[in-house]
Structure 1
Amino acid sequence: MDSFPPRFLDQIASSLLANYFNVASLVVLTLEYFQTVGQEAKLIWPTQWSYVKVIFILNRYLPLALVPPIIYYNVAPLLPALTCKLLFTVPAIGIACSILVADALLYIRIYAVSGRSTIMRNILVANALCVFGLALGPWAFYLIKTVFIDSPFPELSGCFGSEPGPVYLVMVTFGSLLYSTIVTAALFVFYAVRLSRTSRANPLLKVLYIDGALYFISIAALSIINGLVAVLAPDRYRFLLAIPQAVFHNILAARMVLDIREAARTDMGFRSVSGSKRETVGEFKAPSEPQKSTFGSDVATGGVIQSKQSDSTGTTLPTDPESLEDRTWGTKAQSGFKYPPGGGR
C-alpha cells in the first residue's frame, strides 16, 4: 500500500469512512421502518389517494432504494469509468430529490399550521420552486462535470474520481437546502408559539406544534452541520454527512406525520377508500368551540374537519388537500387567526 500515490490512499480512506456513516444510516433507516411500519399500515394505507399520500410514500421509500447503491459504490470492484459515473450520479440525484420530497412534506405542514392562508400558500409555493431549482440545477451540473477514471492499479478496486465538478455548485446546492430548512423551521416555531397562546386546551397541541417544532429544529441543525463540513473539510470529505442528513431528514418528516395521526386517533377518524369510517385521522372534533372556531386538521390527514355540532347536524367542513377551491382552502384553522400577524384586528 505504501507504493501507491498518497492521493489514491486518501481517497480510499475517505470512501471507507463515508461508508461507515452510510451503513450506519441504512441501519437506522431500516430499524425506523420496522418500528413504524405498523403505524403506517394503520394510519396511511387505508386513506384515499392524494398528492399528500404520494409525497409521504416517496419520502418513506426513496431512501431505502437509494442508500444501498451508494454503499456499493464505495466498495465496488473494478468497474469501467462510465459505470462508476452512473453509479455515483443516479443515486446522488435521487438523494437530492428525497431531501426535496421531505421538504415538500414540511412545506405542507407549514401551510396547515398557518391556517391555510392564501398568502402563505403563495409564499411557500414560490419559495419551493426557487429552492428546488437552485438545489437540483447546480447539483446536476456538478455531477455532469465530475470525471471518473479506471483504477490505475489492478490491486485497487473501487471508483476513482479524477476531476470533481466546480465546488461553488455544491455550495449553491447545500446553501439552498440550508436556507429552505432554516426558513421552514423559523416559520413553524413562529406559528407554534403563536397558536399555543390561543389553543392551550387542545390535546393535540403538544404533538402538532411542540414536537413538530423540535423536528424542524433538529433538521435545521443537521443541515447546518453538513454545510459546515462541506465548506471546511477537505474535498474528499465533502459529502461525508450527506447521506446521514438525507436519511434523518426523511425519518423526521415521516415521523411528524405518523405521530400526529397516532395522537389524534381518539378524536379523529378518516374515511377509507370505501367511505366507511376508521379509527384514524381525518375528522377533528373541536374541544369546546363552535364550528367556525374549529381547530384545523393537518393538511396531511386528507380527511374532513368536523365540529362538535356535527354530532347532531352532520355538518362537515371539507379539507381534502387535493381540492384547491377557495371555499376549501379559505376555511381558517382558527377563528380570528390570519396571515400576516395582526391582519384583520
Structure 2
Amino acid sequence: MEAQNLSGCTIAIIDFLQTFPEEVRLMWPARLSIPKVLFYLARYLTLANNISSVFLSPGVSRRTVKECNGALNLTGLLSPLAVVSAEAILFYRVWAFSGKSRRMLAYLVIQFIGLHSLVFYSVGKWLMSVKYARWSLPSTADRPICMVMEANEFLLSWTYAALLSSVISSMVIMVFIAYREHRGSNNRLLTVFYQDGVYYFVVLAIMASANVAVNWLAYGGYKYILIQTPMISRNVKSIVFWLDTLRKYVEPPRKQTHWNRLWRRPIPPIQPDASTLALAQAFPSDLSECLPLLQALTISYNRLFRFSEARHYATFRDAFKPYIINAMASVAGRLSRVYLHLPLEIYRDGVLGKDIHFPQLEELCLTLSTIYKTTNSEDALEQFVAPFVNRQRDSIKIMSFRFGDRYTRHTEEYFRVGRLFKALVDFPGLSDFTIELKINQDERTGLDQLSTFIHRHRGSLRTLGLFLLDPEEYRYPISRVHTPNTLCQNALFNHTVQSCNGLTRLTLALLSEESFLANSHMLLTSVSRSSWTGGLIHLKLDHSRLKQGDIIDLISKTEFPSLRTIAVNVEILTMVLFDLFVVRLPLLQTLHVTAGSVQARYGHHLPETKVLQTSPFLADLEACSYPQWSTLAELSFNLIVKGVVMPTPGCWMGGPDPPQWVTKKQLQPVFPTVQNFAVHAYEKDIWY
C-alpha cells in the first residue's frame, strides 16, 4: 500500500506541475460552465485524495483502530467523488459528440445516476465491512501500522464492474454516433473528440478490467494493489484530454518561451513554409492595372476542406496581410459591390486595412463568423465591424448581415448583435436590408437594437429580409428560445416592420419551419395591419409552414393590389388556394407554393404525399383551369414530405433534379399562361 500511495502521489503531482501552465492559460480565462466545474473537481479532488491516502501509510502513527478507520473512510469518500467527476467529463463529451440531443442527455443522466449510485453503495458497504488491527513489526516497533484483517472484496468487485460497464457503454455510444452521424464530417473538433476519445476509453477499459481481475484473483493484501493508481490515472487522463482538446482547437500558435520549454516539451512555432512565402510574394499588391474594370469583389475565408485549422490563421495573417491591404487599397475607389465572408478576427487584426473606404460602394454583404472560440464577438462587432460599415455610410444602398460560417452550416455560432446595431450610424440611402441570425439566448436586447436600426431607416427601406431562426443541431431537436407569440410581441414586428411605409419586397423566415403551424395569428396580423400592403410587390413567407386556411384569411382580408410575386408553404394544399389567388391577386406573375401534402377539395379524402394516376387530387387538378390569370408566367410547385431519410444527394449538392410529382403536361391546361414550371418532390429528414 505504501508503494502504491507513493506512485499515485508521484503521478498526480507530476501531472499537476506539467499541466498547471495550460490550466492558467486555457481554463482560468474561460467563463464558468459545467465542463469547467467538472474539470476543477476532477483535478483537485485527485490531489485531495492523494493527501488523504498518505494518512493510511504505515509510516503514519495512530493510537487507535478508530483513527485507522477514519483515515480509510476519508479516502473512501474522496476516491469515488474523484472518479465520478472524471466520469462526468466522459459523459459530457459523449453528449456533446451526439449533438447535445435531449434524448441522449436523458439516457446518459439515467445511466450516470444508476451506475454511480451502485458505485457509492458498494464502496460504502465495503468500508463498513473493513476491520482493522494494530500491528507492531520489529522494523516499525515505534510506529504501529494498520492492517486489514477482514473485508468483503465482492463489494469492491461490483464497484470496478460498474465503472467498466460505464466506460464500455460510453465507448459503444460514441463509436455508434461517429459511424452513423459524422462519417463524412470534416469538423476538426469532432475529429479530436473521436480520435483522442476512443483512445481514452480503451485505456480506461483496460484499467477497469485489470481492477476486476486483480480483485477476484489476487491473494490477501494484493487485492488492493490497483486501488489508487488506476483512479489517479483515470482522472489525470481526463484532465490531459480536456486541456489537449482546448489547446488543439481554440489556441492560436504560441511563441516558444522559456516558460513553455520548462513545463512541456518544446513545440516549434508554425512558420510559413517556402511555398507559402513564395505565393505571398507573388500576390499582386496592385490590382488596379490587371483589373481596370473591376466593380464587384468577393473575399472568402474558405474553411470547406478541414476548416483551415485555427492554429494556421496567424500564419496566413502574417504572410498575406500587407499584400491584402495594398491590393484592397488599389481597387477600393472603383468597387460598387463587396461581398465579404470573413471571420471577425480578420476585421480585428486589420487584414483588410484599418481605415479601408469604398467611396462608390452601393452593396455590402457581410458573412461573419469566428476562428477562435475565445474571440469576444460582441467587442469585435462593436469595435471593428461597425466602424468598417460606418465608413461606407454615404454611398451604401444595399446591406446584409449573415451571422455564422456559410461553409460550416451545422457548426453552431451564436452572436449577440445589440451592440453592433447600436454602434451603426444612419445610412441615408439605405433601401435594401437583410439579416440572418440564429437566436440562441434571449436576444431581447439584440432584437430591440435591430428594431431601432430598422426604424431609423423606415423612410428609405424598400426591401427587407428578416431571417431570425431557431438554432439547429444537425439531426437533433433542441430547446427553442422563442415562441411565435414572444417573437411577434417584440417591437420589431408589432411596430417597426409595420411602419416601413415604402416597403415593396418583404421576406420573413422566422424560428423553425413548423413554429407557426399551430399559431400564426400574430404573424399574419402583423402583415395585414402594415401600412405598406398597398405597394407590396414581393412577399415571401415560404420558410414557415402554415395552414392553408390562415393564408386564405390573410389574402381575403388584406388588399395587395400591386403584388407580383408570392411564396407560401402550406401543410395541406387544395385547389381552393388557387381559386382565391386568381380572384384576389389578378396581377400575380410568379407563384411559389410548397406543400407537405395535397388533398382533393371535395369529399372526405385523406391528404396525399404521393400523387398516383388514381389520385383524387390529380382529378381535382385536371378539372380546373385558369385562363383568366393572364399575368402568371412562372409557377413553382413543390411537395416536401417529412421522411426518415436524408434528401436525395442530387437534390442538395448540384446533382440531377429531384423527380417531378406532377408533369408539365398535366399542369399546362390548368395554367395555360405559365411559361416556366418548377415541379419537384422531396423527402425531408424528420430532424432536419
The normalised TM-score by structure 1 is 0.75
1:31 CA drift (Å): 1.7
Higher relative contact order (CA 8 A, sep 6+): 1
2:373 corresponds, among 258, 269, 288, to 269
1:59 CA drift (Å): 0.4
1:91 corresponds, among 65, 69, 75, to 75
Corresponding letter in the other structure for 1:289 = T
- Matches of 1:221 and 1:262, distance apart in 2: 27
Does the CA-based 8 Å contact 1:21-1:244 persist in structure 2? Answer: yes
Cα separation, partners in 2 of 1:331 and 1:223, compared to 1, 3 Å: farther
Greater gyration radius: 2
Instruction: Please list the CA deviations of residues 92-118 of structure 1 after superposition, one character each: whole Å capped at 9, or x if unmatched.
Output: 221111111100111111111111111
1:224 corresponds, among 192, 202, 209, to 209
- The aligned counterpart of 2:163 is 177
1:51 corresponds, among 9, 30, 34, to 34
1:207 CA drift (Å): 1.5
Does the CA-based 8 Å contact 2:42-2:82 persist in structure 1? Answer: yes
Does the CA-based 8 Å contact 1:47-1:271 persist in structure 2? Answer: no
2:148 corresponds, among 161, 165, 169, to 161
Does the CA-based 8 Å contact 2:438-2:471 persist in structure 1? Answer: no
Does the CA-based 8 Å contact 2:131-2:149 persist in structure 1? Answer: yes
Aligned pairs for 1:121-132 (under 5 A) are 121-132=105-116
Does the CA-based 8 Å contact 2:49-2:78 persist in structure 1? Answer: yes
- The aligned counterpart of 1:117 is 101
1:180 CA drift (Å): 0.8
Cα separation, partners in 2 of 1:77 and 1:115, compared to 1, 3 Å: closer
1:71 corresponds, among 54, 75, 85, to 54
SS of the aligned residue for 1:289 comes to coil
1:20 CA drift (Å): 2.2
Corresponding letter in the other structure for 1:44 = M
- Matches of 1:127 and 1:318, distance apart in 2: 28
- Matches of 1:110 and 1:162, distance apart in 2: 42
Task: Identify which range, 254-263 or 80-89, moves more after superposition.
Answer: 254-263
Cα separation, partners in 2 of 1:331 and 1:139, compared to 1, 3 Å: farther
- The aligned counterpart of 2:484 is none
1:235 CA drift (Å): 3.3
Aligned pairs for 1:139-150 (under 5 A) are 139-150=123-134
1:152 CA drift (Å): 5.6
Aligned pairs for 1:295-310 (under 5 A) are 305=414
Does the CA-based 8 Å contact 1:175-1:227 persist in structure 2? Answer: yes
SS of the aligned residue for 2:96 comes to helix
2:231 corresponds, among 236, 243, 246, to 246
Corresponding letter in the other structure for 1:60 = R
- The aligned counterpart of 2:184 is 198
Corresponding letter in the other structure for 1:54 = V
* Aligned-pair Cα RMSD in Å: 3.2
**Bigger strand fraction:** 2
Aligned pairs for 1:284-303 (under 5 A) are 286=405, 288-290=407-409, 293-294=410-411
- The aligned counterpart of 1:257 is 242
- Matches of 1:142 and 1:108, distance apart in 2: 29
- The aligned counterpart of 2:12 is 29
Does the CA-based 8 Å contact 1:116-1:332 persist in structure 2? Answer: no
Cα separation, partners in 2 of 1:317 and 1:214, compared to 1, 3 Å: farther
1:181 CA drift (Å): 1.2
Task: Identify which range, 225-234 or 25-34, moves more after superposition.
Answer: 25-34
Cα separation, partners in 2 of 1:123 and 1:162, compared to 1, 3 Å: same
Does the CA-based 8 Å contact 2:43-2:236 persist in structure 1? Answer: yes
Q: How many residues align?
A: 294
1:202 CA drift (Å): 2.3
Task: Identify which range, 27-36 or 99-108, moves more after superposition.
Answer: 27-36
**Bigger helix fraction:** 1
Corresponding letter in the other structure for 1:227 = V
The normalised TM-score by structure 2 is 0.39
Does the CA-based 8 Å contact 1:148-1:160 persist in structure 2? Answer: yes
Cα separation, partners in 2 of 1:112 and 1:89, compared to 1, 3 Å: same
Corresponding letter in the other structure for 1:22 = N
1:121 CA drift (Å): 0.8
- The aligned counterpart of 1:9 is none
- The aligned counterpart of 1:8 is none
Instruction: Please list the CA deviations of residues 238-273 of structure 1 after superposition, one character each: whole Å capped at 9, or x if unmatched.
Output: 22112111111111212222122112223323378x
1:22 CA drift (Å): 2.7
- The aligned counterpart of 2:389 is none
Instruction: Please list the CA deviations of residues 290-332 of structure 1 after superposition, one character each: whole Å capped at 9, or x if unmatched.
Output: 3xx22x5xxxxxxx656xxxx9968456489xxxxxxxxx955
1:191 CA drift (Å): 2.4
SS of the aligned residue for 2:56 comes to helix
- Matches of 1:73 and 1:276, distance apart in 2: 53
- Matches of 1:59 and 1:224, distance apart in 2: 21
2:90 corresponds, among 99, 106, 112, to 106
Does the CA-based 8 Å contact 1:63-1:247 persist in structure 2? Answer: yes
Does the CA-based 8 Å contact 1:116-1:331 persist in structure 2? Answer: no
Q: Could you list the runs of 5+ residues in structure 2 that have no partner in the other structure? A: 251-309, 311-370, 381-402, 421-433, 443-469, 479-643, 646-684
1:42 corresponds, among 6, 17, 25, to 25
Q: Could you list the runs of 5+ residues in structure 1 that have no partner in the other structure? A: 1-14, 278-283, 297-303, 321-329
SS of the aligned residue for 1:269 comes to coil
Cα separation, partners in 2 of 1:193 and 1:28, compared to 1, 3 Å: farther
Corresponding letter in the other structure for 1:262 = R
1:65 CA drift (Å): 1.4
Corresponding letter in the other structure for 1:52 = P
Cα separation, partners in 2 of 1:50 and 1:234, compared to 1, 3 Å: same
